[in-house]
Structure 1
Amino acid sequence: MRLNRWFYLFWTTLLIGAGGALIAGLALQLVNGRINFKSTADFIIYPLILLGYGVLVSVYAQLGFFAYMILNYTGSGVFPRKVWRYIQLALALLALLELMFLRQALGKERAAAPDLILGLCLLVFAIIVSYWKVRSTNDTAFVPTFFFMTAISIVEIIGVLQIGVGSATVFIVVPLLLCNAYQILILHRVLSKPVLNPS
């Protein structure tokens, strides 16, 4: 990937993350109504904090995306393509099962419903993104996209899940999933985009 293409992907992903965090933060504000704005400054600062947080989450999502690309390149080099697809599918399903059931079984004091709902939402979102990727490229893109949107996303959000606070989970999951979906869906367009000012 050339530097100008990476630069385009970097800044557009930053915007997606900032927008996703702003939407999630304002939605939680409307639902919970916990934060009372005492002045105009509070009304201005809160969205700015959300935008900054979204930018940080988008950078984190981009690190995960490039780690996935290295993993995918290595895996496809070590294993035959068909075997690597099965491995990715198995890892994706194991990650979903771990998120929805194993964490609750090991932590007996945990409630099962939040993890189950999050896992199901993640599964549905991953299937939609994978289907969209297939329509944009070809059938072989389904499994890698599904693996990225499930297993890699779960690895990225596992830290915040340890906190056990629903609002904190929403704050990181919404912008992170939007960034991940955007990156995987736009990748083939970025790579095939004509290079400006070729050297």
Structure 2
Amino acid sequence: MNLKRWLYLFWTTLVVGAAGSLIVGLLLQWTSTVELKGTADFLVNVGILLGVGIMVSVYSQMGFFAYMMVNYMGNGVFSRRTWLYVQIVLTALALLELMFFRAFVGGESRGASDMVLGLILLVIAVGVAFLKARMTNATAWVPTLFFMIAVTIVETVGVLKIGVDQATAWIAAPLIACNAYQILILHRILQPKNA
């Protein structure tokens, strides 16, 4: 990874986050009772949606590089097979935390919303892992699932504490899009030019 490739990843992820936030934000506002009074309100609103998407994409990139460091250290500390099992266990625990533990153990009242988010995240993660395995090799399954589920859940903890479904959708959708984009594009960015 050189600076040029990293900058490409950085800027394209910003675009993915901004576009995701804009699309989801406009859909949420279209279905709610928000009244925009004139063109100026609409343009300010679009600017806010794009700004939030850019911030979410930067947050996603921090999580992605943190994941890459954890993955590097995990491969150094554990054997390859043990590290795969550790990732599977951590992924299952993160999914259980989101879908069940928050509602039944933590006393959160948003059990249905968290379960729906967990199922959506699981379906998307399996799809992304399938694509990643087809683009690279079968050993990419578990790390991709770990990143798409466990890391995304850790990244969404802040918005989950707010307890508002629209806010969760507005932040989680571009975050999931950015995470999927980064994990799917990584092998292309790391490929040597002559390959």
Number of aligned residue pairs: give it: 194
Aligned to 1:135: 134
Unaligned runs of 5+ in 1: none
Q: CA deviation at 1:50?
A: 0.4
Matched, 1:4 2:4: yes
Deviations 1:20-74 (A, max 9, x none): 0001101101222x21011110111111110011000000000000000000000
Give the deviation of 1:193 after TM superposition.
Answer: 4.8
Which residue number corresponds to residue 117 of structure 1? 116
Structure 1 vs Structure 2 CA RMSD: 1.1
Secondary structure in 1 matching 2:37: coil
Tell me the residue number matched to 2:97.
98
Alignment partner, residue 143 of structure 2:
144
Mark the runs of 5 or more structure 2 residues left unpaired by the alignment: none
| 2:31 corresponding residue in structure 1 | 31
Displacement of 1:112 in angstroms is 1.5
Question: Residues 65-104 of structure 1: matches in 2 within 5 Å?
Answer: 65-104=64-103
TM-score, normalised via structure 1 length: 0.95
Percent identity reads 58
SS at match of 2:162: coil
Would you say the 8 A contact 2:110–2:163 is kept in 1?
Answer: no
**Alpha-carbon distance between aligned partners in 2 of 1:159 and 1:43, rounded to the nearest angstrom:** 27
Distance 2:107 2:20 in 1: 33
State the secondary structure of the residue aligned to 2:61: helix
**In 2, Cα distance between the equivalents of 1:191 and 1:41?**
43
- What is the distance in 2 between the residues matched to 1:15 and 1:99? 28
Shift of 1:108: 2.7
After superposition, what is the alpha-carbon deviation per residue over 1:94-147, rounded to whole angstroms, capped at 9, x for unaligned?
100010000001333513110111111110010000000001000000000000
Q: 3-state DSSP class of the match of 1:83?
A: helix
